Amino acid sequence: MLNDHFKASSANLKKWKRIFRGVSASTLTILLAAGIITSHEDLAFSRENTEQVSSQVQTLEPEALSNEEQKIVDTVNQASEAVVSIANLQNVGSQLDPYSQYQSNNYFMPEEENRNLQPVGEGSGVIYRIDGDQAYIVTNHHVIEGAEALEVQLKNGETLDAELIGSDSLSDLAVLKMDSAGIEKALEFADSDKIQVGQTAIAIGSPLGSDFATSVTKGIVSGLNRSVPVDTDGDMTPDWDMNLLQTDAAISPGNSGGALINSAGQLIGINSSKLSARGVEGMGFAIPTNDVVDIVSQLEENGEVIRPVLGIRYTSLDRIHPDYRTEVMGLDQEELNGAFVMEVVPESSADKAGIEKYDLITALDGEEIEGTADLKQKLYKYRVGDKINVTIRRKSEEKEIEVNLDAAIEEENIQSTTPLEPLQPESEENENSLF
Protein backbone atom coordinates (compact mmCIF):
# COMPACT_ATOMS: atom_id res chain seq x y z
CA MET A 1 0.00 0.00 0.00
CA LEU A 2 2.84 2.27 0.92
CA ASN A 3 4.55 1.38 -2.35
CA ASP A 4 1.37 2.17 -4.28
CA HIS A 5 1.17 5.54 -2.54
CA PHE A 6 4.83 6.22 -3.29
CA LYS A 7 4.35 5.30 -6.93
CA ALA A 8 1.33 7.62 -7.12
CA SER A 9 3.29 10.46 -5.54
CA SER A 10 6.17 9.94 -7.94
CA ALA A 11 3.77 9.97 -10.84
CA ASN A 12 2.22 13.22 -9.59
CA LEU A 13 5.66 14.77 -9.14
CA LYS A 14 6.65 13.89 -12.70
CA LYS A 15 3.33 15.27 -13.88
CA TRP A 16 3.92 18.67 -12.18
CA LYS A 17 7.50 18.78 -13.52
CA ARG A 18 6.12 18.36 -17.02
CA ILE A 19 3.55 21.09 -16.35
CA PHE A 20 6.24 23.43 -14.95
CA ARG A 21 8.43 22.81 -17.98
CA GLY A 22 5.48 23.54 -20.17
CA VAL A 23 4.68 26.75 -18.33
CA SER A 24 8.33 27.82 -18.53
CA ALA A 25 8.40 27.18 -22.24
CA SER A 26 5.15 29.08 -22.69
CA THR A 27 6.45 31.96 -20.60
CA LEU A 28 9.64 32.12 -22.65
CA THR A 29 7.58 32.17 -25.82
CA ILE A 30 5.52 35.08 -24.46
CA LEU A 31 8.66 37.00 -23.48
CA LEU A 32 10.14 36.48 -26.89
CA ALA A 33 6.96 37.62 -28.55
CA ALA A 34 6.86 40.68 -26.36
CA GLY A 35 10.30 41.68 -27.57
CA ILE A 36 12.04 41.30 -24.21
CA ILE A 37 14.30 38.67 -25.76
CA THR A 38 14.34 39.22 -29.49
CA SER A 39 14.80 37.00 -32.50
CA HIS A 40 14.47 38.16 -36.10
CA GLU A 41 10.78 37.28 -36.19
CA ASP A 42 10.05 38.84 -32.84
CA LEU A 43 11.98 42.01 -33.81
CA ALA A 44 9.83 42.35 -36.91
CA PHE A 45 6.77 42.12 -34.71
CA SER A 46 8.11 44.73 -32.35
CA ARG A 47 8.94 47.20 -35.14
CA GLU A 48 5.58 46.75 -36.73
CA ASN A 49 3.95 47.58 -33.41
CA THR A 50 6.16 50.66 -32.93
CA GLU A 51 5.38 51.94 -36.42
CA GLN A 52 1.72 51.51 -35.73
CA VAL A 53 1.94 53.55 -32.51
CA SER A 54 4.17 56.20 -34.08
CA SER A 55 1.73 56.78 -36.87
CA GLN A 56 -0.79 57.90 -34.27
CA VAL A 57 1.55 60.49 -32.62
CA GLN A 58 2.48 63.48 -34.74
CA THR A 59 4.19 66.84 -34.14
CA LEU A 60 2.25 69.92 -35.09
CA GLU A 61 3.35 73.34 -36.16
CA PRO A 62 3.53 75.42 -32.96
CA GLU A 63 0.99 78.15 -32.62
CA ALA A 64 2.20 81.63 -33.38
CA LEU A 65 3.63 83.51 -30.41
CA SER A 66 1.48 86.17 -28.90
CA ASN A 67 2.56 89.73 -29.55
CA GLU A 68 3.88 89.96 -25.99
CA GLU A 69 5.89 86.75 -26.27
CA GLN A 70 7.34 87.73 -29.64
CA LYS A 71 8.40 91.07 -28.22
CA ILE A 72 10.23 89.34 -25.35
CA VAL A 73 11.94 86.92 -27.75
CA ASP A 74 13.10 89.75 -30.02
CA THR A 75 14.26 91.81 -27.04
CA VAL A 76 16.28 88.92 -25.61
CA ASN A 77 17.88 88.10 -28.96
CA GLN A 78 19.06 91.66 -29.39
CA ALA A 79 20.11 92.34 -25.80
CA SER A 80 22.05 89.09 -25.41
CA GLU A 81 24.46 90.27 -28.12
CA ALA A 82 25.79 92.76 -25.55
CA VAL A 83 26.13 90.27 -22.68
CA VAL A 84 29.46 88.44 -22.36
CA SER A 85 31.15 85.81 -20.23
CA ILE A 86 34.28 86.86 -18.33
CA ALA A 87 37.05 84.49 -17.24
CA ASN A 88 39.29 85.51 -14.34
CA LEU A 89 42.76 84.13 -15.13
CA GLN A 90 45.38 83.68 -12.43
CA ASN A 91 48.74 82.00 -12.15
CA VAL A 92 47.61 78.97 -10.19
CA GLY A 93 51.11 77.52 -9.91
CA SER A 94 52.85 80.62 -8.58
CA GLN A 95 52.51 79.59 -4.94
CA LEU A 96 53.61 76.03 -5.51
CA ASP A 97 56.54 76.42 -7.91
CA PRO A 98 59.70 77.60 -6.08
CA TYR A 99 61.09 78.91 -9.34
CA SER A 100 58.02 80.86 -10.41
CA GLN A 101 59.31 84.18 -9.04
CA TYR A 102 62.40 83.89 -11.22
CA GLN A 103 60.34 82.96 -14.24
CA SER A 104 58.06 85.94 -13.73
CA ASN A 105 61.12 88.17 -13.47
CA ASN A 106 62.42 86.74 -16.74
CA TYR A 107 65.58 85.26 -15.26
CA PHE A 108 64.92 82.22 -17.43
CA MET A 109 62.17 80.87 -19.64
CA PRO A 110 60.63 84.35 -20.15
CA GLU A 111 58.48 83.08 -22.98
CA GLU A 112 56.64 80.88 -20.48
CA GLU A 113 55.87 83.67 -18.04
CA ASN A 114 52.10 83.19 -18.34
CA ARG A 115 52.10 79.45 -18.88
CA ASN A 116 50.25 78.79 -15.60
CA LEU A 117 47.44 81.29 -16.17
CA GLN A 118 44.20 79.41 -15.77
CA PRO A 119 40.59 80.45 -15.15
CA VAL A 120 39.83 80.43 -11.43
CA GLY A 121 36.35 81.87 -11.81
CA GLU A 122 33.82 83.04 -14.36
CA GLY A 123 31.17 85.68 -14.38
CA SER A 124 29.22 87.88 -16.76
CA GLY A 125 29.52 91.39 -18.12
CA VAL A 126 27.60 93.94 -20.18
CA ILE A 127 28.87 95.94 -23.15
CA TYR A 128 27.55 99.42 -22.47
CA ARG A 129 29.58 101.60 -24.84
CA ILE A 130 31.37 101.27 -28.17
CA ASP A 131 33.85 104.06 -28.85
CA GLY A 132 35.85 103.70 -32.05
CA ASP A 133 38.01 100.60 -31.84
CA GLN A 134 37.23 100.02 -28.15
CA ALA A 135 34.23 98.41 -26.46
CA TYR A 136 33.60 99.02 -22.74
CA ILE A 137 32.20 96.40 -20.37
CA VAL A 138 30.77 96.78 -16.88
CA THR A 139 30.86 93.84 -14.47
CA ASN A 140 31.17 93.14 -10.75
CA HIS A 141 34.39 93.82 -8.86
CA HIS A 142 34.24 90.35 -7.31
CA VAL A 143 34.23 88.80 -10.80
CA ILE A 144 37.64 90.27 -11.71
CA GLU A 145 39.21 90.53 -8.25
CA GLY A 146 42.76 89.19 -8.20
CA ALA A 147 42.88 88.60 -11.96
CA GLU A 148 46.26 88.57 -13.70
CA ALA A 149 44.54 88.45 -17.09
CA LEU A 150 40.97 88.60 -18.34
CA GLU A 151 39.22 86.87 -21.23
CA VAL A 152 35.85 87.79 -22.63
CA GLN A 153 33.65 85.37 -24.55
CA LEU A 154 31.08 86.87 -26.90
CA LYS A 155 27.69 85.37 -27.67
CA ASN A 156 29.06 83.80 -30.87
CA GLY A 157 31.76 81.98 -28.88
CA GLU A 158 34.64 84.23 -29.92
CA THR A 159 37.16 84.85 -27.13
CA LEU A 160 38.98 88.17 -26.73
CA ASP A 161 41.51 89.56 -24.27
CA ALA A 162 40.24 92.39 -22.07
CA GLU A 163 41.99 95.10 -20.08
CA LEU A 164 40.92 96.27 -16.63
CA ILE A 165 40.28 100.04 -16.59
CA GLY A 166 39.33 100.26 -12.92
CA SER A 167 37.31 98.65 -10.16
CA ASP A 168 35.67 99.60 -6.88
CA SER A 169 35.09 97.07 -4.11
CA LEU A 170 32.60 99.24 -2.22
CA SER A 171 30.13 99.44 -5.10
CA ASP A 172 31.19 96.00 -6.43
CA LEU A 173 31.66 97.38 -9.95
CA ALA A 174 34.47 97.21 -12.48
CA VAL A 175 35.07 98.46 -16.04
CA LEU A 176 36.96 96.58 -18.76
CA LYS A 177 37.75 97.44 -22.35
CA MET A 178 38.51 95.31 -25.40
CA ASP A 179 38.79 95.49 -29.17
CA SER A 180 35.44 96.43 -30.69
CA ALA A 181 35.96 94.67 -34.03
CA GLY A 182 32.76 92.82 -34.90
CA ILE A 183 30.86 94.15 -31.89
CA GLU A 184 27.72 96.02 -32.86
CA LYS A 185 25.48 95.99 -29.80
CA ALA A 186 25.71 97.97 -26.55
CA LEU A 187 22.92 98.23 -24.00
CA GLU A 188 21.34 101.53 -23.02
CA PHE A 189 21.00 102.54 -19.37
CA ALA A 190 17.42 103.12 -18.23
CA ASP A 191 16.66 105.60 -15.45
CA SER A 192 16.43 103.27 -12.45
CA ASP A 193 14.64 105.93 -10.39
CA LYS A 194 11.60 105.34 -12.61
CA ILE A 195 11.52 101.56 -12.23
CA GLN A 196 8.32 100.19 -10.72
CA VAL A 197 7.69 97.12 -8.61
CA GLY A 198 5.90 94.52 -10.70
CA GLN A 199 7.40 95.43 -14.06
CA THR A 200 9.15 92.79 -16.16
CA ALA A 201 12.75 91.96 -15.27
CA ILE A 202 14.88 89.69 -17.48
CA ALA A 203 18.27 88.40 -16.33
CA ILE A 204 20.86 87.47 -18.96
CA GLY A 205 24.23 85.99 -18.08
CA SER A 206 26.36 82.87 -17.70
CA PRO A 207 25.13 80.87 -14.70
CA LEU A 208 27.77 78.32 -13.68
CA GLY A 209 30.12 79.71 -16.35
CA SER A 210 30.47 80.06 -20.10
CA ASP A 211 29.02 76.59 -20.79
CA PHE A 212 25.64 78.20 -20.11
CA ALA A 213 26.42 81.59 -21.63
CA THR A 214 23.57 84.01 -22.41
CA SER A 215 21.10 82.04 -20.34
CA VAL A 216 17.84 83.92 -19.83
CA THR A 217 15.49 83.97 -16.85
CA LYS A 218 12.40 86.13 -16.53
CA GLY A 219 10.55 87.55 -13.58
CA ILE A 220 9.54 90.89 -12.15
CA VAL A 221 11.06 93.67 -10.11
CA SER A 222 10.19 92.56 -6.58
CA GLY A 223 11.45 95.54 -4.61
CA LEU A 224 13.32 98.84 -4.76
CA ASN A 225 16.00 100.40 -2.57
CA ARG A 226 16.74 97.20 -0.69
CA SER A 227 19.47 97.83 1.88
CA VAL A 228 21.72 94.77 1.96
CA PRO A 229 24.57 94.78 4.54
CA VAL A 230 27.97 93.67 3.22
CA ASP A 231 31.48 93.25 4.59
CA THR A 232 33.93 95.27 2.48
CA ASP A 233 37.11 94.88 4.52
CA GLY A 234 37.04 91.14 5.18
CA ASP A 235 36.67 91.33 8.98
CA MET A 236 33.38 89.40 8.93
CA THR A 237 31.50 92.49 10.15
CA PRO A 238 29.09 94.33 7.82
CA ASP A 239 30.39 97.86 7.30
CA TRP A 240 28.44 98.99 4.25
CA ASP A 241 24.85 98.80 3.06
CA MET A 242 24.39 98.32 -0.68
CA ASN A 243 21.31 99.86 -2.26
CA LEU A 244 19.92 97.19 -4.60
CA LEU A 245 16.98 96.21 -6.77
CA GLN A 246 15.27 92.95 -5.85
CA THR A 247 14.02 90.52 -8.48
CA ASP A 248 12.59 87.01 -8.60
CA ALA A 249 14.28 86.30 -11.95
CA ALA A 250 16.59 83.37 -11.19
CA ILE A 251 20.18 84.47 -10.52
CA SER A 252 22.90 81.86 -10.03
CA PRO A 253 26.68 81.90 -9.52
CA GLY A 254 28.14 83.11 -12.81
CA ASN A 255 25.27 85.55 -13.37
CA SER A 256 27.25 88.15 -11.41
CA GLY A 257 27.97 91.17 -13.59
CA GLY A 258 25.29 90.23 -16.09
CA ALA A 259 22.35 92.25 -17.31
CA LEU A 260 18.97 92.84 -15.75
CA ILE A 261 16.85 94.41 -18.47
CA ASN A 262 13.29 95.63 -18.86
CA SER A 263 10.86 94.51 -21.56
CA ALA A 264 12.26 97.15 -23.92
CA GLY A 265 15.78 95.71 -23.66
CA GLN A 266 17.16 98.59 -21.61
CA LEU A 267 19.55 97.91 -18.77
CA ILE A 268 17.95 98.48 -15.35
CA GLY A 269 20.59 96.81 -13.19
CA ILE A 270 23.80 94.80 -12.98
CA ASN A 271 23.15 91.43 -11.36
CA SER A 272 25.19 91.16 -8.20
CA SER A 273 23.96 88.63 -5.66
CA LYS A 274 21.21 86.39 -4.38
CA LEU A 275 19.96 85.46 -0.94
CA SER A 276 20.76 81.80 -0.30
CA ALA A 277 19.13 80.31 2.75
CA ARG A 278 16.97 77.32 3.56
CA GLY A 279 13.38 78.06 2.68
CA VAL A 280 14.27 81.16 0.63
CA GLU A 281 13.57 81.23 -3.10
CA GLY A 282 13.56 83.90 -5.77
CA MET A 283 15.48 86.67 -4.01
CA GLY A 284 18.07 88.05 -6.41
CA PHE A 285 19.62 91.51 -6.32
CA ALA A 286 21.03 93.93 -8.88
CA ILE A 287 22.85 97.26 -8.67
CA PRO A 288 20.51 99.99 -10.03
CA THR A 289 21.67 101.61 -13.26
CA ASN A 290 21.76 105.14 -11.87
CA ASP A 291 24.34 103.99 -9.32
CA VAL A 292 26.18 102.10 -12.06
CA VAL A 293 26.41 105.15 -14.33
CA ASP A 294 27.91 107.29 -11.56
CA ILE A 295 30.57 104.71 -10.64
CA VAL A 296 31.38 103.73 -14.23
CA SER A 297 31.97 107.37 -15.18
CA GLN A 298 34.50 107.75 -12.36
CA LEU A 299 36.22 104.46 -13.17
CA GLU A 300 36.62 105.45 -16.81
CA GLU A 301 38.04 108.83 -15.84
CA ASN A 302 40.23 107.95 -12.85
CA GLY A 303 40.50 104.16 -12.72
CA GLU A 304 39.07 104.39 -9.20
CA VAL A 305 36.29 106.02 -7.22
CA ILE A 306 37.48 109.01 -5.21
CA ARG A 307 35.30 109.53 -2.17
CA PRO A 308 35.36 112.25 0.50
CA VAL A 309 36.55 111.43 4.00
CA LEU A 310 36.37 113.08 7.37
CA GLY A 311 39.69 111.68 8.54
CA ILE A 312 38.61 109.81 11.66
CA ARG A 313 38.75 106.36 13.23
CA TYR A 314 35.37 105.52 14.70
CA THR A 315 33.29 102.80 16.27
CA SER A 316 29.71 102.09 17.29
CA LEU A 317 28.36 103.53 20.52
CA ASP A 318 27.34 100.14 21.90
CA ARG A 319 31.05 99.30 22.29
CA ILE A 320 31.50 102.14 24.75
CA HIS A 321 31.09 101.49 28.48
CA PRO A 322 27.48 102.13 29.59
CA ASP A 323 28.65 104.28 32.53
CA TYR A 324 30.52 106.61 30.20
CA ARG A 325 27.48 106.92 27.94
CA THR A 326 25.14 107.76 30.82
CA GLU A 327 27.32 109.70 33.28
CA VAL A 328 29.64 111.61 30.92
CA MET A 329 27.55 111.92 27.77
CA GLY A 330 24.19 112.19 29.50
CA LEU A 331 22.58 109.55 27.29
CA ASP A 332 20.01 106.93 28.15
CA GLN A 333 21.18 103.32 28.09
CA GLU A 334 19.04 102.68 25.00
CA GLU A 335 20.47 105.58 22.99
CA LEU A 336 23.01 103.94 20.64
CA ASN A 337 22.76 106.01 17.45
CA GLY A 338 25.77 107.80 16.01
CA ALA A 339 29.45 107.13 15.28
CA PHE A 340 31.88 107.49 18.19
CA VAL A 341 35.24 109.09 17.24
CA MET A 342 38.22 107.10 18.52
CA GLU A 343 40.94 109.03 16.68
CA VAL A 344 41.28 112.12 14.50
CA VAL A 345 43.90 112.06 11.73
CA PRO A 346 46.15 115.15 11.93
CA GLU A 347 45.55 117.73 9.19
CA SER A 348 42.43 115.88 8.01
CA SER A 349 39.07 117.50 7.24
CA ALA A 350 37.80 116.64 10.72
CA ASP A 351 40.95 117.93 12.42
CA LYS A 352 40.86 121.24 10.58
CA ALA A 353 37.17 121.70 11.42
CA GLY A 354 37.65 121.02 15.13
CA ILE A 355 36.20 117.54 15.56
CA GLU A 356 37.85 115.87 18.55
CA LYS A 357 38.55 112.42 19.91
CA TYR A 358 35.53 111.00 21.81
CA ASP A 359 33.05 113.20 19.93
CA LEU A 360 29.86 111.44 18.90
CA ILE A 361 28.79 112.26 15.33
CA THR A 362 24.99 112.27 15.29
CA ALA A 363 24.04 113.91 11.97
CA LEU A 364 25.34 115.12 8.58
CA ASP A 365 23.49 118.14 7.19
CA GLY A 366 20.61 117.37 9.52
CA GLU A 367 20.33 113.69 8.49
CA GLU A 368 20.55 111.50 11.57
CA ILE A 369 23.38 108.94 11.74
CA GLU A 370 21.98 105.66 12.96
CA GLY A 371 25.29 103.79 13.11
CA THR A 372 28.78 103.38 11.70
CA ALA A 373 27.66 101.95 8.35
CA ASP A 374 25.14 104.76 8.04
CA LEU A 375 27.92 107.35 8.43
CA LYS A 376 29.69 105.99 5.33
CA GLN A 377 26.44 105.75 3.44
CA LYS A 378 25.55 109.39 4.01
CA LEU A 379 29.09 110.76 3.72
CA TYR A 380 29.67 109.15 0.32
CA LYS A 381 26.74 111.03 -1.16
CA TYR A 382 29.00 114.09 -1.18
CA ARG A 383 31.94 115.02 -3.37
CA VAL A 384 35.44 116.09 -2.47
CA GLY A 385 35.35 119.85 -1.89
CA ASP A 386 31.77 119.93 -0.58
CA LYS A 387 31.02 121.70 2.70
CA ILE A 388 28.77 119.90 5.16
CA ASN A 389 27.41 120.59 8.63
CA VAL A 390 28.35 117.86 11.10
CA THR A 391 26.33 117.60 14.30
CA ILE A 392 28.34 116.19 17.22
CA ARG A 393 27.83 115.47 20.90
CA ARG A 394 30.87 116.36 22.99
CA LYS A 395 30.28 114.84 26.40
CA SER A 396 26.75 116.13 27.11
CA GLU A 397 26.88 119.17 24.84
CA GLU A 398 25.66 119.22 21.23
CA LYS A 399 27.51 121.27 18.61
CA GLU A 400 27.31 121.87 14.86
CA ILE A 401 30.60 122.09 12.97
CA GLU A 402 31.14 123.01 9.32
CA VAL A 403 33.54 120.63 7.59
CA ASN A 404 35.17 121.11 4.21
CA LEU A 405 35.63 117.68 2.61
CA ASP A 406 39.03 118.37 1.12
CA ALA A 407 40.59 114.92 1.57
CA ALA A 408 40.15 111.86 -0.56
CA ILE A 409 42.27 109.11 0.97
CA GLU A 410 40.25 106.02 1.79
CA GLU A 411 42.50 105.07 4.71
CA GLU A 412 41.61 108.30 6.52
CA ASN A 413 38.04 107.15 7.17
CA ILE A 414 38.31 103.94 9.13
CA GLN A 415 35.78 102.05 11.16
CA SER A 416 37.58 100.68 14.21
CA THR A 417 37.10 96.96 14.83
CA THR A 418 39.91 96.51 17.35
CA PRO A 419 38.53 95.23 20.67
CA LEU A 420 38.24 98.17 23.06
CA GLU A 421 38.76 98.42 26.75
CA PRO A 422 35.55 99.95 28.14
CA LEU A 423 35.58 103.71 28.48
CA GLN A 424 35.08 104.77 32.09
CA PRO A 425 33.66 108.04 33.39
CA GLU A 426 36.24 110.75 33.89
CA SER A 427 37.48 111.34 37.44
CA GLU A 428 40.00 113.61 39.08
CA GLU A 429 42.40 110.69 39.38
CA ASN A 430 42.00 109.54 35.77
CA GLU A 431 40.92 112.53 33.73
CA ASN A 432 43.48 111.99 30.94
CA SER A 433 42.88 108.28 30.46
CA LEU A 434 39.36 107.20 29.60
CA PHE A 435 40.20 103.55 28.90
Active-site residue 169, yes or no? no
Catalytic residue among 210, 256, 316, 348: 256
Active-site residue 365, yes or no? no
Active-site residue 321, yes or no? no
Catalytic residue among 142, 206, 222, 359: 142
Catalytic residue among 85, 167, 168, 172: 172
| SS3 readout for the chain | CHHHHHHHHHHHHHHHHHHHHHHHHHHHHHHHHHCCCCCHHHHHHHHHHHHHHHCCCCCCCCCCCCHHHHHHHHHHHHHHHHEEEEEEEEECCCCCCCCHHHHHCCCCCHHHCCCCEEEEEEEEEEEEEEECCEEEEEECHHHHCCCCEEEEECCCCCEEEEEEEEEECCCCEEEEEEECCCCCCCCCECCHHHCCCCCEEEEEECCCCHHHCCEEEEEEEEEEEEEEEECCCCCCCCCEEEEEEEECCCCCCCCCCCEEECCCCCEEEEEEEECCCCCCCCCEEEEEHHHHHHHHHHHHHHCCCCCCCCCEEEEEHHHCCHHHHHHHCCCCCCCCCCEEEEEECCCCHHHHHCCCCCCEEEEECCEECCCHHHHHHHHCCCCCCCEEEEEEEECCEEEEEEEECCCCCHHHEEECCCCCCCCCCCCCCCCCCCC
Residues serving a catalytic function are 142, 172, 256
